[in-house]
Amino acid sequence: MPNQLKKTALDAAQAAGLLLKKNIYKPHAIKFKGVIDIVTEMDKKAEGLIIKIIKDKFPDHGILTEESQEQKTGSEYRWIIDPLDGTTNYSHGYPVFCVSIALERDGEIIMGAVYDPMLDELFTAEKGRGAYLRKKKIRVSRIAGLSRSLLATGFPYDVRTSQENNMNHFANFAVRAQAIRRAGSAALDMCYVACGRFDGFWELKLKPWDTAAAALIIQEAGGTATDFKGNPFSLYSGETLASNGLIHEEMIKVLQGKGFPS
């Protein structure tokens, strides 16, 4: 069973990713879920392909995905899927996006796969078995100070209307970190923390499908994932803080506004 579960996750992520890559520069039908929150027909097509691949192998498993109603089946297994993380990028032809698939058993994430088809980079992790990029084991960075760290973040879809919009945190980190990047795909940002390209990441109001796979990948790569106060990471907390572990406490201090680290 474990090997079949892993193969299904990888097959689904790569099949959906290749579908997205093939169609990125074609015109897209776009619908607005909010003022700036969009969905394209490719989100739907990728999601349908992933669900079909999973259901063909495991018809009794539950499904939680971004664009459709949750399928509750009573199974101990539930797949958590973001068929296209980086929809705004994709709709503009900006080639930074990914497919994210996680598998949960009895409420615990046991497997994650994040696939970037434009770079053909497949990040994977199994609980207790480490994290990998393609077939090479990955580890978080060894940068030990915030001032030398490259960070990543994003802004919530209600950035125009909510005071909780990350602008304050961005300004505070901008003068304490080496630099900040805002690429537009939370799952990829987190995987970049896992492989050492970024040293830390924070974001507000992410959904379970944004973080489920990548949080496991970070933890299996030796990193740390919590909320902004340092409490254990939850898919539902609305706060995601991930780092190489070495700069985590410094990042918490900045997020809590308790005085900047020296």
> Could you tell me the CATH number of the domain that includes residue 202?
3.40.190.80
Pair (72, 169) in one structural domain: no
Which domain covers residue 233, as residue numbers? 146-256
Verify that 81 and 159 share a domain, yes or no. Answer: no
Rounded Cα distance, 236 and 129, in Å:
25
pTM over 0.85: yes
Q: Are 29 and 92 in a shared domain?
A: yes
Tell me how far the alpha carbon of residue 169 is from its chain's centroid. 20
Kindly state whether residue 261 falls inside one of the protein's structural domains.
no
In a domain, 171, yes or no: yes
Over range 170-189, report the average pLDDT.
97
Rounded Cα gap, residues 121 and 133, in angstroms = 7
Q: In the predicted model, what is the mean pLDDT of residues 88-104?
A: 96
For the chain, how many structural domains are there in total?
2
Q: Is residue 56 part of a domain?
A: yes
Lowest mean pLDDT among 36-45, 72-81, 215-224: 36-45
Would residue 31 count as lying in a domain? Answer: yes
Give the three-class secondary structure for 10: helix
The mean pLDDT of 248-259, rounded to a whole number, is 91
Same-domain pairing of 72 and 179? no
Residue 100 forms beta bridges with which residues? 82, 114
DSSP 25-42: TS---EEESSSS-EEEHH
Q: Which CATH number is 70's domain given?
A: 3.30.540.10
CA atoms of 71 and 94, how far apart (whole Å): 32
pLDDT at 5 over 90: yes
| 40 DSSP β-pair partners | 30
Q: Which residue among 78, 112, 137 closes a domain?
A: 137
Residue 116 has pLDDT above 80, yes or no: yes
Same domain, 121 and 234: no
pLDDT single digits (tens) 118-127:
999 999 999 9
β-partners of residue 81 are 65, 101
Q: List the single range of 66-80, 92-106, 126-140, 174-188 with lowest mean pLDDT.
A: 66-80
68 domain-assigned:
yes
Domain presence at residue 170: yes
Domain termination site, one of 137, 171, 198: 137
Do 183 and 236 fall into the same domain? yes
